[in-house]
Amino acid sequence: MDDSFTYTPDALDPATGFYGADIAVFFNVFQQLVEFNATPSGTPTTVVPGLTTNWTITDNYKTYIFRIRPNVTFSNGDPLTVYDVWFSFVRELYLGQAVGISNYTELTVNTSTLSTGLILPWGIRHAIQEVTGLPATTNINITESVLNNMLSNFNPDNSTQRAIMSYPTKRTLCSTLPRSRSTCSSTTSSS
């Protein structure tokens, strides 16, 4: 661990910390889908797999497909799933401090295909309104209330949460494929 910083981090949450001391902690505690090559023989400006085995960029840099490494677990032994990726993105966006993904305003999951997956659409307010019947498109307080409830009580097996995550709109798709292979793709095109 880099001990050259002599000041304390201002945050232990990667969604809110931007200070130099925070970054040193984040690199030692959290892992990303992709990372800069920090090995002694590596080039620090080269991107290498982190939680992924590999990735593909297509459609003139509008689509990014990540294959999530199999058998990745959290410290308590729970497996990493595409729902965890969804939760991380939504939580970061919802906090309003997401760095580098400001073009995305919402995330949902696509379960209407043969595989399960995640979608990063532009309209979670529409998803909430369609699924719950609440006027989320005209009342941001309703959207905030539903997201507060989802993020505080996140359960990918909850039918209402799944329906909101499955709402099809402009999207980025991550899917779980058979035999523990997972993929994620991002697109900025309209549906």
Which regions of the chain carry the CATH code 3.90.76? Answer: 40-186
Highest mean pLDDT pick, 36-40, 86-90, 120-124, 184-188 = 36-40
DSSP state at residue 172: E
Task: Give the Å distances, CA to CA, from 185 to 56, 59, 88, 137.
Answer: 8, 11, 16, 26
List, for residues 130-186, the tens digit of each pLDDT value: 899 998 877 777 877 888 788 788 887 888 888 887 776 544 444 444 434 444 454
Mean pLDDT of the 25-40 span: 83
pLDDT of the residue at 3: 61
> Tokens in use for 178?
């058979």
Asked if pLDDT for residue 69 goes beyond 80, the answer is yes
Say whether pTM exceeds 0.85: no
Share of the chain above pLDDT 70, in %: 64
Q: Which residue in 12, 167, 183, 10 sits closest to 90, CA to CA?
A: 167
Distance in angstroms (rounded) separating the CA atoms of residues 27 and 17: 12
Residues 137 and 131: their CA atoms lie apart, in Å, by 12
Q: Is the pLDDT of residue 128 over 80?
A: yes
The CATH class of 40-186 is alpha beta
Query: Could you tell me the pLDDT band of residue 25, with boundaries at 50, 70 and 90?
Result: confident
Report how far residue 14's alpha carbon sits from residue 88's, in angstroms, rounded to the nearest whole number.
Answer: 10
- Helix ranges (H only) for the chain are 20-29, 82-94, 124-132, 140-152, 159-166
Higher pLDDT pick, 123 / 53: 53
Query: How far is the CA of 126 from the CAs of 57, 64, 101, in angstroms?
Result: 28, 24, 20
